[in-house]
């Protein structure tokens, strides 16, 4: 059994600022971490990040930056002015892009953790093949993870199904965040590679990301607390 202290991140994937803030009112202190993704960031920008952080939440900014190295580095420099703890970049941007992003992090926000996204949890082997990736899923994730960690990323985002091979390959050091987590009985939605919270924690995840099973629950705070209790057990 893994003894890492796996934590819950709420995926605040809602369409409007008011709806998102109402959800946080309902959740209160049942969550400590909030993921802000492209939907809310593109609609409401940096000020929304500050607004959520001012409520006492720690922020996972999930923008999956992927561009030429200079552009990504400048984006990291801009994000350094925000109260963000975790930030995603795409591993498929290559080692130079990751290295430039890490250099910007070290210069402007050394407390920020850069997470390299390996393969999206909505993708399966057939979709990889359709974009001419001939490697199998596990190899592709492992290769992108190794490239990113060597270039300076501090952590990874991957499916929980790749946790065991990544821990075997890279040990306990990298921080690993796993989206695509579904409590037992919850709908998978578009996610292809999923685990329950307890399974992900046991496999070596540092953070799990859960959205709809909390957001759509009759009692979101109770749903969040139940997931955190499962992680602790």
Domain boundaries, the chain: 7-232
DSSP 8-state symbol, 64:
E
Least confident of 2-11, 101-110, 184-193, 199-208: 184-193
Residue 184's pLDDT band, with cuts at 50, 70 and 90, is low
pLDDT reading at 2 higher than 80: no
Q: How confident is the model at residue 188 (pLDDT cuts 50, 70, 90)?
A: very low
**SS3 state of residue 127:** helix
What per-residue confidence (pLDDT) applies to 66? 97
Mean pLDDT for all residues in the chain: 91
64 catalytic per annotation: yes
**CA–CA–CA angle 46, 158, 179 (5° rounding):** 60
**Local structure of residue 14 (DSSP, 8 states):** -
Average pLDDT over residues 194-210: 90
Which H or E run contains 114?
strand 113-117
Which burial class, exposed, middle or buried, applies to 51 when counting CB atoms under 10 A from its CB (0-12, 13-18, 19+)? Answer: middle
CA dihedral 77, 78, 80, 81 (to 10 degrees): 140
Nearest to 74 by CA among 103, 113, 39: 103
- pLDDT for the residue 187: 52
* pLDDT over 80 at 189, yes or no: no
- Of 35, 64, 129, 232, the active-site residue reads 64
Looking at the predicted structure, is the pLDDT value of residue 190 above 80? no
Does position 3 have pLDDT exceeding 80, yes or no?
A: no
pLDDT of 150: 98
∠ CA 67-73-79 to the nearest 5 degrees?
A: 105
CATH architecture under which domain 7-232 falls: Alpha-Beta Barrel (3.20)
Name the pTM for this structure.
Answer: 0.91
pLDDT (tens digit per residue) in 29-59: 999 999 999 999 999 999 999 999 999 999 9
Q: Check residue 125 and give its pLDDT.
A: 80
Q: Quick one: pLDDT band at residue 191, thresholds 50, 70, 90? A: very low
CB atoms within 10 A of CB 200: 30
- In the predicted model, is pLDDT for residue 182 greater than 90? no
pLDDT surpassing 70 at residue 151: yes
CA distance 22 to 34: 14
% of the chain exceeding 90 in pLDDT? 76
């Amino acid at each position: 059994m893994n003894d890492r202290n796996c934590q819950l991140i709420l995926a605040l994937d809602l369409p409007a600022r008011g709806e998102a803030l109402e959800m946080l009112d309902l959740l209160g202190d049942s969550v400590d971490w909030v993921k802000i993704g492209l939907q809310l960031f593109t609609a409401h920008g940096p000020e929304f990040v500050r607004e959520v952080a001012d409520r006492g939440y720690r922020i996972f900014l999930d923008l999956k930056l992927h561009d030429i190295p200079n552009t990504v580095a400048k984006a990291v420099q801009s994000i350094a002015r925000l109260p963000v703890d975790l930030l995603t970049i795409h591993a498929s941007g290559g080692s130079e892009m990751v290295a430039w992003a890490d250099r910007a992090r070290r210069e402007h926000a050394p407390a920020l953790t850069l997470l390299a996204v390996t393969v999206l949890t909505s993708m399966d082997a057939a979709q990889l093949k359709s974009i001419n990736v001939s490697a199998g899923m596990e190899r592709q994730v492992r290769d992108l993870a190794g490239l990113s960690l060597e270039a300076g990323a501090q952590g990874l985002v991957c499916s929980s199904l790749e946790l065991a091979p990544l821990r075997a390959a890279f040990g306990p050091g990298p921080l690993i965040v796993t989206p695509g987590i579904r409590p037992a009985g919850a709908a998978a939605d578009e996610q292809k590679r999923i685990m329950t919270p307890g399974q992900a924690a046991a496999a070596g995840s540092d953070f799990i990301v859960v959205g709809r099973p909390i957001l759509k629950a009759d009692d979101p705070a109770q749903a969040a607390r139940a997931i955190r209790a499962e992680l602790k057990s």
